[in-house]
Amino acid sequence: MNILFFHPTFDSKQWIDGIHRRLPQANVRAWHRGDTQPADYALVWHPPQEMLAPRHTLKGIFVLGAGVDAILTQEQRNPGTLPAGVPLIRLEDTGMALQMQEYALASVLRYFRRLDEYQLFQQQKQWRPLAAHQHSQFTVGLLGAGVLGNAVADKLIDLKFKVRSWSRSPKSREGVDSFHGNDQLHDFAGGCKLLINLLPNTPQTAGILNRNLFARLSQHAYLINLGRGMHLVDGDLLRALDSGQIAAATLDVFNDEPLQRMHPFWSHPRVTVTPHIGADTLPDEAMDSIVANIQAIEAGREPSGVVDRTRGY
Per-residue 3-state assignment (H helix, E strand, C coil) for 254-285: CCCCCCCCCCCCCCCCCEEECCCCCCCCCHHH
Give one DSSP letter per residue of 169-180, joined into a string.
S---BTTEEEEE
The pLDDT, as a whole number, for residue 192 is 98
Q: State yes or no: pLDDT of 93 exceeds 90.
A: no
Q: State yes or no: pLDDT of 103 exceeds 80.
A: yes
Q: State yes or no: pLDDT of 303 exceeds 90.
A: yes
The pLDDT, as a whole number, for residue 266 is 98
- What whole-number distance in Å separates Cα of residue 135 and Cα of residue 287? 40
Point out the catalytic residue in the list 90, 168, 228, 231: 228
Cβ atoms within 10 Å, residue 24: 7
- What whole-number distance in Å separates Cα of residue 248 and Cα of residue 240? 9
- What whole-number distance in Å separates Cα of residue 199 and Cα of residue 258? 21
**Mean pLDDT of the chain, nearest integer:** 96
Average pLDDT over residues 148-163: 97
The pLDDT, as a whole number, for residue 210 is 98
Tens digit of each residue's pLDDT (9 = 90 or more) over 242-293: 999 999 999 999 999 999 999 999 999 999 999 999 999 999 999 999 999 9
**Sequence-distant (≥ 6) Cβ neighbours of residue 72 within 8 angstroms:** 307, 309, 312
Taking the chain, what is the end-to-end CA distance rounded to the nearest angstrom?
27
Point out the catalytic residue in the list 22, 263, 276, 309: 276
User: Could you tell me the pLDDT band of residue 312, with boundaries at 50, 70 and 90?
Assistant: confident
> Catalytic: 276?
yes
The pLDDT, as a whole number, for residue 65 is 81
- Find the helix packing angle between 12-22 and 283-298, rounded to 10°: 50
Q: State yes or no: pLDDT of 66 exceeds 80.
A: no
Q: What is the pTM of this model?
A: 0.91
Average pLDDT over residues 71-77: 90
Tell which residue, 72, 68, 92, has the closest CA to residue 81.
72
> Catalytic: 228?
yes
Tens digit of each residue's pLDDT (9 = 90 or more) over 43-63: 999 999 999 999 999 999 999
In this structure, are residues 138 and 193 in contact, taking their beta carbons and an 8 Å threshold? Answer: yes
The amino acid that residue 4 corresponds to is L
The pLDDT, as a whole number, for residue 157 is 98
- What whole-number distance in Å separates Cα of residue 235 and Cα of residue 247? 15
Tell which residue, 199, 106, 104, 107, has the closest CA to residue 152.
104
The pLDDT, as a whole number, for residue 55 is 96
